[in-house]
Structure 1
Amino acid sequence: MPTGIAKVLKRLHYPLEVMLQCVRWYVADSLSSRDLEEMMAERGVALDHSTIHRWVIKWLPVFEKAIRRRLRPVGESWRIDETYIRVRGQWKYLYRAVDKAGHTIDFLLCPRRDTAAARRFFEKATAGRGTPTTVTVDKSGANRAALQALGAQRETPIEIRQNNYLNNLDEQDHRAIKRRLRPMLGFQNFRCARIVLGGIEAMHMIRKGQMLAPKGRRASSAEQLTCLGVFGPVET
């Protein structure tokens, strides 16, 4: 069994299938942990909603790490935008990027919306997904300043376009994330918010067909998420 999964299982005493089912439902569907508590009770499994929440916090970083290793390449024309996320009654900022085909490139939750936060996100995205040739942003001066600073360090400059119309693709993609967050009624701390958002974004990428599947197999999103870490090397 992979080290990451074995480490998570070390102090958890429920069957693996039960834990994975609850975590998958939590990030995939518009359900709260209390909804899942009732659903599992109907199936003869007695759980407390706080137990489900602990599973979510423990398992999602493992899933996200495994999913990132299996992502398909993305295009070189990026759309970058940020949306608001409520954490402990305060608004935080989820930076997100998609390519022109709508595939998620990367994401990062930041406490502030400024040049430093935008640059941190761009550096994270380019480190993991390569350097774009063109980036479309809205009229935010912070985003443009961060991209110019990043481009100044590279031999090949990045073309920056500020166009709200072209950025609609990213803004529309925010809706899938916001729809899942609605039953949660906000987060209580920043760390949990980052972990849960990472899981929701990862599931969103799976649904968009961004994860490589084993050769000759047409696995559903549920099978792909459940079997992460169990598959051998992915053949393409």
Structure 2
Amino acid sequence: MMKKAPTPRTALAPGIAKVLKQLHCPLDVMLMCVRWYVAYGLSLRNLAEMMAEPWIEVHHSTVYRWDMKLLPVLEKAFRLRKRPAGKSWRMDEMHIRVNGEWRYLYRAVDKNGNTVDFLRRAHRDKVAARRYFEKAIEAIDADRETPIKIRRCKYLNNLVEQNFRVIKRRTRPMPGFRNFRCARILLAGIELMPMIAKGQMQCAHGTHPSADDQFYDLVT
């Protein structure tokens, strides 16, 4: 049985309510398509064909539009509920193809494999990437007696390199991103699902919702 996303009667987040005025389809259908697209190795056409089986007619370009509209709002809602990362971080980068050209995705994870943050860059500019994460470190240092130190140690990056596999598995079936904005939105959505699965989202005390229930809960 398909799990139901919140209905319009449920108190929706302001961003979601605003987006719904622009999209004319049941919220549960849109959220299911968006979640499946960022979580699994499916193309937009795959999703359109799958939805046609239960007699839900949707064009693959419509699914893409749902992704572009809903994912930024869902990511913003997740960041408000994101658990703090650990104190020890590992950072590395991977290649992504945007409009036929190679671009870069920098990621940092803590020693437990939880995602700290990620950054998309048009060029392999480690200085800018390091500056970005140092800014995040400064925000943490404000509440610490002992400041965080940055050190180089190649073997420590094995964890973040293995962590990249989840992202690579999802992006491999894609033909590439149309532009940098598309890459930014979809990669943020792709990053969202593993973070939820790793328990990085704060939930009500004493509850243990599944990853998909947590995803749907982001709209409220």
**TM beyond 0.5:** yes
For structure 1, list consecutive stretches of 5 or more residues without a partner in the other structure.
133-154, 231-236
Equivalent position of 1:83 in the other structure: 94
> 2:174: which partner in 1?
184
CA distance in 2, matches of 1:45, 1:5: 22
Q: 2:106 aligns with which of 92, 95, 107?
A: 95
Q: How far is 1:216 from its partner?
A: 2.3
Pairwise CA distance, 1:229: 3.2
2:50 counterpart of 1:39: yes
Q: 1:127 to 1:71 in 2, by over 3 A?
A: farther
Q: Structure 1 residues 188-197 or 114-123, which shifts more?
A: 114-123
**Corresponding residue number in structure 1 for 2:6:** none
- Deviation digits for residues 54-94 of structure 1, max 9, x if unmatched? 00010000110011111111111110111111111111110
TM-score (norm 2): 0.88
2:79 aligned residue (68, 78, 90)? 68
CA RMSD in angstroms, aligned pairs only: 1.8
Partner of 1:5: 16
Q: Specify the code of the residue in structure 2 equivalent to 1:222.
A: D
Counterpart position of 1:26: 37
Q: Which amino acid aligns with 1:162?
A: R
Deviation at 1:117, TM superposition (A): 2.5
The offset of 1:104, in angstroms, is 0.3
| Percent of matched pairs sharing the same residue | 60
Distance 1:99 1:115 in 2: 19
Q: Which has the higher contact order (CA 8 A, sep 6+)?
A: 2
Structure 2 residue 122 is the aligned partner of structure 1 residue 111: yes
**Counterpart of 1:209?**
199
Which shows bigger deviation, 103-112 or 115-124? 115-124
State the 1:127 CA deviation: 6.7
Question: What's the CA shift for 1:37?
Answer: 0.4
After TM superposition, what 4+ stretches of structure 1 lie above 3 angstroms from structure 2?
Answer: 123-128, 155-158
The residue that corresponds to 1:163 in the other structure is 153
Following superposition, the deviation at residue 156 of structure 1 comes to 6.3
2: CA distance between counterparts of 1:183 and 1:83?
A: 16
Match of 1:122 among 133, 142, 158: 133
Letter in 2 for 1:159: K
Superposed displacement of residue 19, structure 1: 0.3
Shift of 1:124: 5.6
Q: CA deviation at 1:209?
A: 1.0
Cα deviation, 1:214-235, whole Å, max 9, x if unaligned, reads 12221101000012132xxxxx
Q: Distance in 1 between matches of 2:15 and 2:131?
A: 27
Contact 2:119 2:129 in 1 (8 A): no
Distance 1:217 1:85, change over 3 A: same
**Contact in 1 for aligned 2:92/2:161 (Cα 8 Å):** yes
**Contact 1:107/1:121 (CA < 8 Å) preserved in 2?**
no
Residue of structure 1 in register with 2:25 after alignment: 14
**Would you say the 8 A contact 1:76–1:131 is kept in 2?**
no
Partner residue in 1 for 2:69: 58
